[in-house]
Structure 1
Amino acid sequence: MGKQRSENKHKNSLIKKILIALSAVGPGLFLIGYNIGTGSITTMGMTGAQHGMTLLWALLLSGLFTYILMVAFGHLTLVTGKTALLNFKREIPSVGKPLALYIIGALILGELLALIGIMGIVAELIQEGIRLASADGGLVVQTGWIILVISAGIFAVLWYGQYKIFEKILTTFVILMVGCFVAVFFMVTPSYSAILEGMIPGIPDTSGSYRLVAAIAGTTCSAAVFVIRSTVVAEKGWTIGNLKDEKRDAFVSVFTMIFLSAIVMAVGAGTLHVMGLKMETTLEMIRLLEPLGGDLAAFLMIVGIAGAGLSTIFPIVLIAPWLVADYMGWERDIQSPMFRGLIVGGLLFAFGSIFLEQTPPVLMVLSQAFQAAILPAVAIPVFYLLNKEELVGPDHLPSRKWNAGLVAVIIFSLVTTYFAVRGFF
């Protein structure tokens, strides 16, 4: 009995330590949940399916620059005590207000495009799941009705302010999905030579390759992530004394995102690429887990990606009211008329996939490529503000090394913007 009590006490102590460690990287975990969703799975899976591991370099480079910008935005917020948009609005002479308004408009447009793609993917996955679960496999529910039910459910949850409870349930689905991808990765791991070759910069001479490079940058080094990070760091209550915590948090967040994204790319390379599929339709996404076997693998994929998609939809429909409240300096009250009105407006766009010709996965990649085109509008201003001595103070100016990193990020953002424009047209 005493031995059992000792074991239980040790187990509880271990769980407590894990929870404390997780709370120390709260903003990073929030962004992992936001960033690793349907967009990342679609982009990385499609990249692996179409080009194997040849674009791994774009993911690694995007991860490096994501870390630099995450630290930069967190640093600016901790030192000034103000969120990014407020700093842009108040501290950049002449162009501060129009720049902040442009960022708000561009981010909302990009997230609405993502919402159309995500909701279309989730609806088609649930449609296939219902078909597989039916007795004879012949029950087909129209995606429009599925989107209507999902939208009504999301609105009801947000109306009563119970998002955190729902998020915990969906996090379980995301963990399940990640576990499946890791399992498949060890079953279909590409050769080490293919992985090493993927680290050498190069762009395949095929249609849509530039758009995929921009989408990799957009889904990893996303402008929305940095603006939201500023808000989440402020909500965490961190101060200048947490600068080291902020850097550690950013590293954990970026490392996890890159690790999971690389696994999804490798699974796409080891399954769909070998089968000659390009993952341009939702049902081809399901075949990513085919090595696990039959309908069970398909159903597992449906549950995982649908859960990841639903958990991503929540911050997407909240981003417009968050940005408006941030710009105006208002309290972020999810039950205010402004929040509820903008949430309803955002959910109306969820039906867009029904009326557009492009398949949801292609729409998802287009939205991620669009995100890459917004990056210069956040990278250049944060470089300017961090080097504004009267704002951050002489003790918190960036070192030459960090300034070199920020300049490299700006160059990268301009290059990926060019790739995004070239990919669109």
Structure 2
Amino acid sequence: MADTADTTPGRRPDRDGGGPHHGGPAPGGPGPDGRQTPAPRKASWRYIGPGIVVAATGVGAGDLVATLIAGGRFGYTLLWAAVVGCLVKISLAEAAGRWHLATGRTLFDGWRSLGAWTTGYFAVYVAIWGFVYGAAAMSSSALPLQALFPGVMDLKWWAVLCGLAGLAFVWFNRYAVFEKVMTLLVGVMFVVTLYLAVRVTPNLGRALAGLAPVLPDGSLIYTLGLIGGVGGTITLAAYGYWVNAKGWTDTSWIKVMRLDNRVAYLTTGVFVVAMLVVGAELLHSSGIALAKGDKGLLDLSGILADRYGTVTSKLFLVGFFATSLTSLIGVWHGVSLMFADFVAHFRSRGAATPGEAAAVGARERSLPFRAYLLWLTFPPMALLFLDQPFGLVIVYGVIGAFFMPFLAVTLVWLLNSSRTPAEWRNGPLSNGVLGAAGLLFVVLCVQQVRELPW
């Protein structure tokens, strides 16, 4: 469908898929407690929150390892890809948030309107993905704790402790507390990554040269991974739910949402660039290779201890733990919200009504929300004590590879159709970026499927 610009007198068309310019205060939708939340006159950093949550959740320990390895192999050459990747995530999260605010409907409600196939895909995805991801998130959080407190207990029991702590935290707290804790952990991540980047003494000239788009031999897959991987998970789809949980429920909050989203992924950009600098200066110059997966960060901890002392190494492990824990509790909260919405729609078997997105606060206390929390926590513990079943790993890899293309394509579909009010549909820039993101994720999907141990 063609892009539609708003031509109502007194309004400013937004060429990037936005809507009218609100010159004064407009009433916001009801917040999670049911009270009316007024939108501010101007977007301000004081209102940010959901974007920090989604960005922190999306950047896990595995993403930092991938960035370090890219920096270790190619130095600063792929710095531009990390920047482009942040722009892609800004576009995807903005589209998800705009759908929620412009329509008053949740993203799953939008998916359901595209056909029953979306419901089937989501049901299979969250069941298998949640089972395997739960074990991965608990293990990732346990690794730095075992390194910080050696000899206290086995890695598996640290992982169980992390899972139970995440379950208790999300179970007994609501979004407001959850956001504050996530923001605190992001602050720890921010300080640690910046300290490390400064500690290794970056070469600013080479870093600036790395902003030029260049593809060294053998770097294509690493480049695509940097653009599409860091900060890109199912939690991008959860952004709109966190926006609603914040109390932002109508179009008067879109300017605030956009600022929130941009500040968040600027923060993500700092994480990624800082770790690329560490990889370039500490690994590339010395020819050191890290192990793949989260254990690569333990390798880096040892290297930091040898080069800069125990304090720097311990500080890095604290940042490693903060990175892993934000991913754990972020998924425990965000994907459980999505699952609760899925169950509500499945039970109703009818069209959702505008304004339904405001029910997010109530879903934090719902039985489906808590049931999925339990699914993320207890069944995956079996994988901590047993080798992961080979067939399950293959199915998980295939389904997981298809989610980001699914998200990008369905957002383009929804935001160019009559399901979205005309003034809030995509403009040429949004369509271009989301279309390119969809193509990128399809390529990454094919590559990931090809690399599975068939």
Distance 1:351 1:41, change over 3 A: farther
**Counterpart in the other structure of 2:331:** 316
CA-CA distance at 1:398 after TM superposition? 2.3
Distance 1:283 1:424, change over 3 A: same
Distance 1:221 1:288, change over 3 A: farther
**Counterpart in the other structure of 2:86:** 63
Q: Counterpart amino acid of 2:368?
A: M
How do residues 251-400 of structure 1 correspond to structure 2 at under 5 angstroms?
251-280=262-291, 281=295, 282-287=297-302, 289-290=304-305, 293-329=308-344, 332-348=362-378, 349-350=380-381, 352-356=383-387, 373-388=402-417, 390-400=418-428
Distance 1:336 1:80, change over 3 A: closer
- Cα distance between partner residues in 1 of 2:441 and 2:268: 19
Task: Note if 1:220 corresponds to 2:231.
Answer: yes
Q: For the Cα contact (< 8 Å) 1:73–1:229, is it kept in 2? A: yes
**Counterpart in the other structure of 1:116:** 135
Q: Counterpart amino acid of 2:56?
A: G
Aligned residues with identical type, % of pairs: 20
CA-CA distance at 1:291 after TM superposition? 7.8
TM-score by length of 1: 0.78
Aligned counterpart in structure 2 of residue 409 of structure 1, from 437, 442, 446: 437
- Cα distance between partner residues in 2 of 1:216 and 1:89: 29
Distance 1:140 1:369, change over 3 A: farther
**Counterpart in the other structure of 1:420:** 448
Distance 1:130 1:55, change over 3 A: same
CA-CA distance at 1:319 after TM superposition? 4.3
Distance 1:81 1:234, change over 3 A: same
Aligned counterpart in structure 1 of residue 240 of structure 2, from 227, 230, 238: 230
CA-CA distance at 1:32 after TM superposition? 2.7
Distance 1:372 1:142, change over 3 A: same
Query: Higher mean Cα deviation, 273-282 or 299-308?
Result: 273-282
Distance 1:340 1:111, change over 3 A: closer
- Cα distance between partner residues in 1 of 2:422 and 2:264: 29
- Cα distance between partner residues in 1 of 2:132 and 2:212: 30
Q: Counterpart amino acid of 1:380?
A: V
Task: Note if 1:248 corresponds to 2:279.
Answer: no
Distance 1:153 1:111, change over 3 A: same
Task: Note if 1:143 corresponds to 2:155.
Answer: yes
| CA deviation map 1:264-298 (0-9, x unaligned) | 11112211333333321342131464487322222
How do residues 41-52 of structure 1 correspond to structure 2 at under 5 angstroms?
41-52=64-75
| CA deviation map 1:151-183 (0-9, x unaligned) | 333333344337865775565454234213212
Q: Secondary structure at the match of 1:392?
A: coil
Distance 1:406 1:249, change over 3 A: same
- Cα distance between partner residues in 2 of 1:179 and 1:265: 16
Q: Counterpart amino acid of 1:249?
A: D
- Cα distance between partner residues in 1 of 2:232 and 2:333: 20
Q: Counterpart amino acid of 1:226?
A: L
TM-score by length of 2: 0.73
Task: Note if 1:74 corresponds to 2:97.
Answer: yes
Q: Unaligned regions of 5+ residues in structure 1, if any?
A: 1-19, 132-138
Aligned length: 385
Q: Unaligned regions of 5+ residues in structure 2, if any?
A: 1-42, 346-358
**Counterpart in the other structure of 1:184:** 196
Q: Counterpart amino acid of 1:338?
A: P
**Counterpart in the other structure of 2:206:** 193
The structure richer in helix per residue is 1
Q: For the Cα contact (< 8 Å) 2:170–2:333, is it kept in 1? A: no
CA-CA distance at 1:67 after TM superposition? 1.7
CA-CA distance at 1:76 after TM superposition? 1.6
